[in-house]
Structure formats: structure tokens, C-alpha cells
Amino acid sequence: MSRSNCIAWMCLTVVVAASQLFGTAAAAEPPSSALRMAWLRMPGGAESGSELASWAQEIRIRTSIDMLPSAIGLRPEDPAIFHFPLLYWGGDRAVPRLSDQAILHLRQHLSTGGTLLVDNTGRTEPSHAFDQSMRRELARVFPQSLQRIASSHVVLRSFYRLERPMGRRADAHDLEGVRVGSHLAVIYTRNDLAGALARSPMGGYALAVVPGGETQREQAFRLAVNLVMYVLCLDYKDDHTHVMHLLRYRRGSRVPEPAATQGADEP
């Protein structure tokens, strides 16, 4: 069995464990062992999760992970966010102040194994308004600021080996993140990852990828696969540790107080 298939098989085992603990759909839906992605309905954020359908399709094609094709949109105040190990937050404009309940839910979920992917979806360049206001709100969730993620970090080699993160744009050479213990609770890309994945109603890709064209789009898809692998496995060299972390997850636990942690620049 190839190394990539071994990793995918190991991650699939974790998906099943995570599905039992996090759930994979809203509470009113029947339980499933398949993974479902969720996007946050935020003021100034993405208006639909259509881009995530293409993402899910690539995960199903390239790995052994069972992905549901549709994503669900949830407000951060909704306790259903605890059902999803990966939350997507895209935006291209200023973010109003989030409610205290939203901050508490995000802090609890991201402190107990969940991961938030933040995607700056500015069309011609990264949105400064989104960047500044998003950082302000994340500072309410965790006291430390976003830090550069080293190019040697496992998130860039969890399935594919990548030199740098790509999206529809290639403005930023690095990811940024917030670390809780050894876990990247927040991962931020300024390159409009979702824009590279989005498809038009006719089936083709909705947006041009610049400056690298289809080669760059492939790199964006590979990053998207790596992110899901990272969320489910954290570090494929220490998979058992992640399972133990998931088993300590309790939805009814008290919201933990944020604590300063080491910088995300460390592998």
C-alpha cells in the first residue's frame, strides 16, 4: 500500500471516531459516518457554501475519506457548530462585532479539537477590511495573534508535499494560524482558496486563477486536501494522540478560558 493510501486509511479511521463524537450533520439529521463540511454564516462573509461542494468532490476522488457532497451553513451562535471538526469562514469585507455567544462557542469548539479555516476571498487582492476586522474578532476568541505557519509544518505535507499555499490568487507566501497546544485551531489563507475551487452552474470553473492558471489551481486543490487531512489526523505520525484528544471532547463542558500558547511558526 502506498504512503498516501496508508495515510488516507488511517485518517478514515479517525473520521469514524470523530463522527461519533462531533457528529457530521445537524442534530435533526440522522447520524452518518461520512464527513460534512460547514461554513460560517457571518456578516460580511460567504453567502453560500457552493465552493465547498467542489472541495468535497476532490476529497472523495483523491482520498479514502467519505465526504457528503453538500455543506451546511451555520451561524457561530448555533450549538450545531460543535458537530463539525472543520469550519470554513470566507469573507471579502469588514466583519461586524460578533456576539458574545458566538465568541464563546468558537472558543470552546476550537479549544477542544475543532479547526477554523479562514479564507480571505478578496477578488483582485486580499481584502484589508476583512483581514483587520477578522483579526480583531479572533483576538476576542484567543489572546494570541495569528502567527506565520512554517513551510515545514505538517499541514503542508499531510497528504501532498507543498512548497507554499496557493489559491485563486498567490499574494501570500505563507499560511497563518493560532495554535492551541499542538493543534492549529485557526488556519488563515489570504489567497482566496475557495475561489480556485468554485465551479460555475455549467460545470466549468467559475473564476480564473492568477497568475499561475491551471497549475496553480491544482496546487490549491492539493492544499484543500491537505487541510482536511490535517484536521482529521493533525499529525499522521502521531495519530493515536489525536484520537485520544477527540475522546476527551465533551460538548457539555464549560467554556475554557483562553490561554497563551506557543507561536504557530513552529512545526
Predicted pLDDT at 186: 98
Report whether pLDDT(150) > 70. yes
- In this prediction, residue 64 has a pLDDT band, given cuts at 50, 70 and 90, of confident
Mean pLDDT to the nearest integer, 42-48: 68
Q: Which domains does the chain have, with CATH numbers?
A: 3-247 (3.40.50.12140)
CA distance 187 to 43: 20
- Neighbouring C-beta atoms of residue 171, cutoff 10 Å: 15
Identify the helix (H) or strand (E) that includes residue 228. Answer: helix 213-233
Arithmetic mean of pLDDT over the chain: 81
Residue 142, helix vs strand vs coil: coil
What is the rounded (10 degree) CA torsion for 162, 46, 246, 30? -120
Predicted pLDDT at 22: 46
Q: Provide the edge-to-edge strand list for the sheet that holds 38-40.
A: 72-74, 38-40, 86-91, 115-120, 183-189, 176-180, 147-148
Residue 87, helix vs strand vs coil: strand
Report whether pLDDT(38) > 50. yes
Residue 23 backbone class (left: φ over 0; alpha: ψ -120 to 50; beta: rest):
left
Question: How many residues in the chain?
Answer: 267
**With contact defined as beta carbons under 8 Å apart, do 235 and 154 qualify?**
yes
> Amino acid letter at 147?
Q
234 vs 90, residue with greater confidence: 90
Mean pLDDT to the nearest integer, 21-46: 63
CA distance 25 to 49: 15
Residues of the chain with pLDDT > 90, as a percent, come to: 62
pLDDT in tens, 100-137: 999 999 999 999 999 999 999 998 999 999 999 999 99
CA distance 90 to 65: 23
pLDDT in tens, 200-248: 888 899 999 999 999 999 999 999 999 999 998 864 444 444 444 444 4
Mean pLDDT to the nearest integer, 179-193: 96
What is the rounded (10 degree) CA torsion for 197, 201, 207, 212? 60
